[in-house]
Amino acid sequence: MDLGLAGRHVLVTGASRGIGFACVQAFLAEGAKVTMLSRDETALCAAAQSLDAGGRVLWRAADLRDPASALAALESAEAAEAGAGFGPLDVLVNCAGAARRRPPDELDAAAWNDAMQAKFFSYIHIMSPAVQRMAARGAGCVVNVVGAGGKVANPTHLAGGAANAALLLASAGMAAAYARQGVRINALNPGQVATDRLRQRHEAEARLASLEGRPPPAAPGAALPLGRPAEPREIADMVVFLASPRASYVTGATIAMDGATTPMI
């Protein structure tokens, strides 16, 4: 299936590893040009150089918790003069999250605030100006990789889950607000995905189980309906489809991708 993404400019946040890196690979396979963004420039550069992408990859290091840095990175990615950037964005994919999982008793005001900075504002600080620019041009698309924890509360993920819930509302609301200006915005809720994040979650759950005197949890994914967590590339395949013109009537949607872990309608 031709997804119609060849030559499009895609900015992926959280691009140095995990789901974001898998998205970069998937968009490159479709012939897109990709700007990769995360904080650690060394890791970002190494990730970019591991790709066989010719001139179709650039990277920008920025901490998206800071709105000025987020805007500067966006402006620099969109700069077209002298090959500085790839020009106006066609697609923004948000994957830059780092909300720490903690047992509820470890949540103080700073931890709640950290979670909002790490997951909610790191998406909003780049999505908001990017969508305004797309709307001014009359075209664009955003895919927010959010998380099933925004719909179903988990005791070790209350602060991050609350940030996810806020993001889901912002995605749907902005999709409605900007639909007439040609901008589509969707959210994707993975369940468990086989990245470093899953290992950290497993460790937090083991800590909670130990505090509550319960046996340690089973290996990640063993109890899921499919018997395993999702692979990052499986999430990336859905992201690429949602970002493509083949999904032209999909906007304001929250797509569950938890392998039937929470079988709800």
Q: Which of residues 58 and 135 has its CB atom nearest to ligand NAP in the complex?
A: 58
> Smallest gap, in angstroms, from Cβ of residue 245 to ligand NAP?
24
Stretch of 60-68, 105-113, 131-139, 247-255 contacting ligand NAP, by CB under 6 A: 60-68
One residue of 31, 56, 63, 250 binding ligand NAP per CB under 6 A: 63
One residue of 195, 244, 251, 254 binding ligand NAP per CB under 6 A: 195
Q: Which residue has tokens 């994707």?
A: 188
122 binds ligand NAP (CB under 6 A): yes
Stretch of 9-17, 107-115, 132-140, 175-183 contacting ligand NAP, by CB under 6 A: 9-17
> Smallest gap, in angstroms, from Cβ of residue 57 to ligand NAP?
14
CB 182 within 8 A of CB 138: yes
> Smallest gap, in angstroms, from Cβ of residue 38 to ligand NAP?
3
251 binds ligand NAP (CB under 6 A): no
Can you tell me the distance from the alpha carbon of 129 to that of 114, in angstroms, rounded to the nearest whole number?
22
**Bridge partners of residue 143, in order along the sequence:** 93, 186
51 binds ligand NAP (CB under 6 A): no
Distance of CA 145 to CAs 16, 105, 141, Å? Answer: 15, 27, 13
One residue of 141, 159, 198, 240 binding ligand NAP per CB under 6 A: 198
Residues in contact with ligand NAP, counted by CB under 6 A, come to a total of 30
Q: Which of residues 164-193 bind ligand NAP (CB under 6 A)?
A: 190, 192-193
156 binds ligand NAP (CB under 6 A): no
DSSP for the chain reads ---S-TT-EEEEESTTSHHHHHHHHHHHHTT-EEEEEES-HHHHHHHHHTS--TT-EEEEE--TTSHHHHHHHHHHHH--GGGSS--S-SEEEE----PPP--GGG--HHHHHHHIIIIIIHHHHHHHHHHHHHHHHT-EEEEEE--GGGTS--TT-HHHHHHHHHHHHHHHHHHHHHGGGTEEEEEEEE--BSSHHHHHHHHHHHHHHHHTTPPPPPSTTTTSTTSSPBPHHHHHHHHHHHHSGGGTT--S-EEEESTTSS---
One residue of 8, 10, 12, 16 binding ligand NAP per CB under 6 A: 16
Q: Which of residues 31 and 67 has its CB atom nearest to ligand NAP in the complex?
A: 67
97 binds ligand NAP (CB under 6 A): yes
One residue of 57, 64, 92, 141 binding ligand NAP per CB under 6 A: 64
Q: Which residues of this chain interact with ligand NAP, rule CB under 6 A?
A: 13-20, 38-40, 43, 63-65, 95-98, 119, 122, 145, 147, 190, 192-193, 195-198
